[in-house]
Amino acid sequence: MQRQWQKQMKKDSSTEEKIRQAARQVFLAKGFAGCTSREIAEVAGENVALVNYYFRSKGQLYKLIFEDALEDFVNSMVVVFGSDKSLKEKMTIFIEKEYAFLAKHPEIPAFLLNEMNREDGCSIHSNVHFEKIAATGVFEQCIKAQQEGSMRPIDLRSIPLLIMSNCHYPIMAKNLIMHLQGMNDNEYEENLKQHREHVSQMLVNYLFPEK
Amino acid sequence: MQRQWQKQMKKDSSTEEKIRQAARQVFLAKGFAGCTSREIAEVAGENVALVNYYFRSKGQLYKLIFEDALEDFVNSMVVVFGSDKSLKEKMTIFIEKEYAFLAKHPEIPAFLLNEMNREDGCSIHSNVHFEKIAATGVFEQCIKAQQEGSMRPIDLRSIPLLIMSNCHYPIMAKNLIMHLQGMNDNEYEENLKQHREHVSQMLVNYLFPEK
DNA sequence: ACCTGTTTTAAACAACCATTTAAAATGCTT
DNA sequence: AAGCATTTTAAATGGTTGTTTAAAACAGGT
């Protein structure tokens, strides 16, 4: 007996959803081993047993959150690459959007990265994410640009790495750099704006050399 | 009653040192919350109680390892900056050495970074590390180069960030990138060599523009 | 009001955690 | 060989972990 209005309710404010959101918040902040089921339930304002009632186990819930975060992460790329701009424009826009996205979700890169390094971690068992990016045709666009000579002829696999390095690291390493350089939060955020411009210029200059 | 030869012994193969090394290995691989005292003792091949006997607590031992790793990390920078080469040369050499260092200690960047993001984590309570780098005079060298026009006049705090982003991220994100792009270990390592060249060229081109 | 399936609760569970204890083993000095 | 401090051990401590249980509360249909 399916009651549609109940299913709808689930996606909004049900206990299940409250726990899911609490789990996302806590897992992203502290990682799998760094938190407890009880902590998640507490943040959700619900009983501990409900975590297992709705999600069977802490690990199962974690997998769900991981896939969720990975999807957000990949989607934030796909949007830009799927447009019909030139490669140079796409990259400039992407860097802009990526910095904006990471300002809202600063924990995602480190979360995914750590999870992939965890032994027995949630390895990525399908290439659906890669295909999503490939489906935008951005790789063909690169090959064409390289043939035309407008783009530096480098291994295509190095390009995402160059971009991600310069977008993700400054967010992930905020606390490390801040402390090492004796800055405070405001100073760092201010510096980040300048830094974004340098990253943008540097990458464009390198990948699309003039002459 | 201090027995000097015993103190010497401690630094080599004593139980204390065995535990310290085991702790370093395990902490770097799994983080503080991701492992147990028993696991460390097991790797060291010693009794669990000895962890507390020699280091009082898991947290105390962790702090020791953290400082240790941070020092290695900073030292790997100081060596290069302290030489009497030109800035451009220093940077090229540094990137080379950093990639080599990280090939041997790939877990260090993520370890330090995560620790700095951990609530109640080992924040850096002294600026001795920063001063070690400053003492090489590399910052003055930068200012002079910027005044001469041989170096792009950007905020000095952005320069370490640019370099570290492009040196550390490709190591830290190995598993993530590998899985997303469907590569294997050998392919990634191969790609990394090319990538290092791009990083080197790109940074030099940007920071020391010709004309 | 009663039945029925779902949701929530407090309590209990065994397993494991970091740490402590007290006794045993070890090695050096005399 | 005896004495002594240091080192190592097995066992126990109290607390916390993820998960299960069984009963209670709640809902809608009849």
Say which CATH number the domain at A175 has: 1.10.357.10
Q: Which of B161, B166, B179 to mutate to test the interface with A (most CBs of A within 10 A)?
A: B161
The tokens describing A158, both together, are 């190095």
Please answer whether residues A40 and A51 qualify as being in contact, where contact means their C-beta atoms are separated by less than 8 angstroms: yes
Does a structural domain hold residue A136? yes
Does a structural domain hold residue A123? yes
Same domain for B36 and B131?
Answer: no
Binary contact (B33, A29; C-beta < 8 A): no
- pLDDT higher than threshold 50 for residue A140: yes
Residue of A12 and A142 predicted with greater confidence: A142
CB neighbour list of residue B160: distance below 8 Å, 6 or more residues apart: A177, A181
* Of A124-128, A169-173, A189-193, B56-60, the least confident: A124-128
User: What's the rounded mean pLDDT across residues A165-172?
Assistant: 98
- pLDDT higher than threshold 50 for residue A45: yes
Which pLDDT belongs to residue B126?
81
Among residues A127, A138, A124, the alpha carbon closest in space to that of A94 is found at A138
Same domain for A74 and A49?
Answer: no
- pLDDT higher than threshold 90 for residue B7: no
Does a structural domain hold residue B61? no
A149: left (phi over 0), alpha (psi -120 to 50) or beta: left
Helical (H) or strand (E) element with A53: helix A49-55
Same domain for B20 and B89?
Answer: no
CA distance B6 to chain A (A): 36
* Domain around A136: 67-207
- pLDDT higher than threshold 80 for residue B8: no
Helical (H) or strand (E) element with A104: helix A87-104
* Of A75-84, A91-100, A165-174, B187-196, the least confident: A75-84
Residue A100: Cβ within 10 Å count: 11
* Domain count within chain B: 2
User: What's the rounded mean pLDDT across residues B135-147?
Assistant: 95
| CATH value at residue B33 | 1.10.10.60
Same domain for A49 and A138?
Answer: no
Round to whole Å and give the CA distance between B53 and B37.
12
Residue of B80 and A37 predicted with greater confidence: A37
3-state SS string for chain B: CCCHHHHHHHCCCCHHHHHHHHHHHHHHHHCCCCCCHHHHHHHHCCCCHHHHHHHCCHHHHHHHHHHHHHHHHHHHHHHHHCCCCCHHHHHHHHHHHHHHHHHHCCCHHHHHHHHHHCCCCCCCCCCHHHHHHHCCCHHHHHHHHHHHCCCCCCCCCHHHHHHHHHHHHHHHCHHHHHHHHCCCHHHHHHHHHHHHHHHHHHHHHHHCCCC
* Of B27-41, B113-127, B130-144, B188-202, the least confident: B113-127
Sequence-ordered alpha helix ranges (H) in A149-181: 158-172, 174-181
User: What's the rounded mean pLDDT across residues A145-170?
Assistant: 96
Residue of B12 and B88 predicted with greater confidence: B88
Which residue from A34, A119, A161 is facing B170, i.e. has the nearest CB? A161
Which pLDDT belongs to residue B71?
93
Does a structural domain hold residue A62? no
Residue A64: Cβ within 10 Å count: 16
What is the percent of chain B with per-residue pLDDT over 70, rounded to a whole number?
A: 93
Same domain for A187 and A167?
Answer: yes
Which pLDDT belongs to residue A42?
98
Does a structural domain hold residue B114? yes
Same domain for B114 and B203?
Answer: yes
Same domain for B87 and B141?
Answer: yes
**Burial (Cβ within 10 Å: 0-12, 13-18, ≥19) of residue B173:** buried
A52 touches strand D (CB under 7 A): yes
Helical (H) or strand (E) element with A4: helix A4-12
Torsion angle defined by CA atoms of residues B98, B102, B105 and B109, in that order, rounded to the nearest 10 degrees: 90
Round to whole Å and give the CA distance between A159 and A166.
11
Does a structural domain hold residue B17? yes
- pLDDT higher than threshold 50 for residue B2: no
Provide the sign of the torsion angle of the four alpha carbons B196, B101, B32, B122, taken in this order: negative
Residue of B11 and A82 predicted with greater confidence: A82
Of the residues B18, B35, B56, the one at which a domain ends:
B56
Which pLDDT belongs to residue A121?
78
Same domain for A92 and A9?
Answer: no
- CB contact A59 to B (< 8 Å): no
Give pLDDT tens digits for B62-108: 999 999 999 999 998 888 888 889 999 999 999 999 999 999 999 99
Please answer whether residues B209 and B152 qualify as being in contact, where contact means their C-beta atoms are separated by less than 8 angstroms: yes
Q: Tally the residues of chain B.
A: 211
Same domain for B97 and B38?
Answer: no
Name the pLDDT band for A46 (thresholds 50, 70, 90): very high
Q: Which of B25, B36, B98, B114 to mutate to test the interface with A (most CBs of A within 10 A)?
A: B114
- Calculate the angstrom distance between C1' of C17 and CA of A185: 36
Name the pLDDT band for B49 (thresholds 50, 70, 90): very high
Same domain for A44 and A111?
Answer: no
CB neighbour list of residue B177: distance below 8 Å, 6 or more residues apart: A160, A161, A164, B170, B183, B188
Residue of A111 and A83 predicted with greater confidence: A111
What is the percent of chain A with per-residue pLDDT over 70, rounded to a whole number?
A: 93
Name the pLDDT band for B200 (thresholds 50, 70, 90): very high
Binary contact (A31, B33; C-beta < 8 A): yes
- pLDDT higher than threshold 90 for residue A12: no
**B161: nearest CA in chain A?**
A170
Helical (H) or strand (E) element with A203: helix A185-207
Which pLDDT belongs to residue A13?
55
Same domain for A33 and A81?
Answer: no
A49 touches strand D (CB under 7 A): yes
- Calculate the angstrom distance between C1' of C30 and CA of B9: 24
Same domain for A95 and A167?
Answer: yes
* Of A45-59, A115-129, B47-61, B94-108, the least confident: A115-129
Does a structural domain hold residue A61? no
Residues of B from 39 to 98 whose C-beta is within 7 A of strand D: which are they?
Answer: 46-50, 53
Which pLDDT belongs to residue A9?
45
Does a structural domain hold residue B144? yes
